[in-house]
Each structure stands twice: as structure tokens, then as C-alpha cells.
Amino acid sequence: MIGWVILFIAVPVAEVVIYIELGHYIGIIPTLAMIFGTGIAGVILAKQQGFYIITRIREEIQSGRVPGNQMLDGLLILVGALLLLTPGLLSDMAGFILLLPFTRVYVREFLKKKLRKWIQDGKVQIYFGPR
């Protein structure tokens, strides 16, 4: 619990410090342009990737397959879009990592390994209907 509190305090402070230093280094106008530019690019990319994943999920369901990877990709795209809505250079970088398909695949595979381990260790239980 204390770790989360520190995280929610330290990350915004780091974001502010980074923007202040960046403003000193490249100027206020380029810094503001970068903030707005990453926001606009993120919205466009999130929309494009979101529609792509929805199409892939439909294709998988119509083929009779469970769209596991696509569902996880959809979740990562949602988290990436939310990170891009949060002001800050660090959160923007994390958001773009989750939105870009060639980097998102590594995050997805890492999460799949963690989920398998949590299931094996009994930390996560999955129920498929009433017992």
C-alpha cells in the first residue's frame, strides 16, 4: 500500500520536474508543442489501433476461436490511451509503448507469463460458470 502511495506522488513530481527542465532546455513553446503533439498523435494512434483490434476480435470469434491475444491487446491499448491522456512525458512514453504494435507484443507476452505464474501459484483463480 505504501508503495502505491509513493508511486502516485513520485511519478507526478518527476513529470513536473521533467517538463520544467525540458522547458529550460528547449523553450516553452517547443515544450508545449510537444505536449499537444503527443496528445494528438496518441488519440489518432489509439483510435486506429482500437478499431484494428475490434476487427481482429470479430474475425477470431467468427472463425470460432477465442480471441485471447486480441482481448489482451485491447486492454493494453485502453491503458495506453489513458496514459496518453495523463499529462507527462513518462506517461506518454509508456502509453506509446502500449499503443505501438511492435512494442505492445512484448508487454503482452510478459503479462501472459505473469498471469500463468499467478494461476499456477494460486494467486489468481478463473471460474467458467456457476459451481
Digit-coded pLDDT (tens) for 66-123: 888 889 999 999 999 888 888 788 888 999 999 899 999 999 999 999 988 988 888 8
Kindly state the helix (H) or strand (E) to which residue 19 belongs, with its residue range: helix 2-26
Positive or negative CA dihedral for 41, 45, 48, 54?
negative
Q: Give the Cα separation of 106 and 56 in Å (integer).
A: 19
Does this model's pTM top 0.85? My answer is no
What's the length of the chain?
A: 131
pLDDT-derived band at 131 (thresholds 50, 70, 90) equals: low
Are 87 and 42 contacting, i.e. CB atoms less than 8 angstroms apart?
no
pLDDT tens-digit readout, 42-65: 888 888 888 889 998 999 889 888
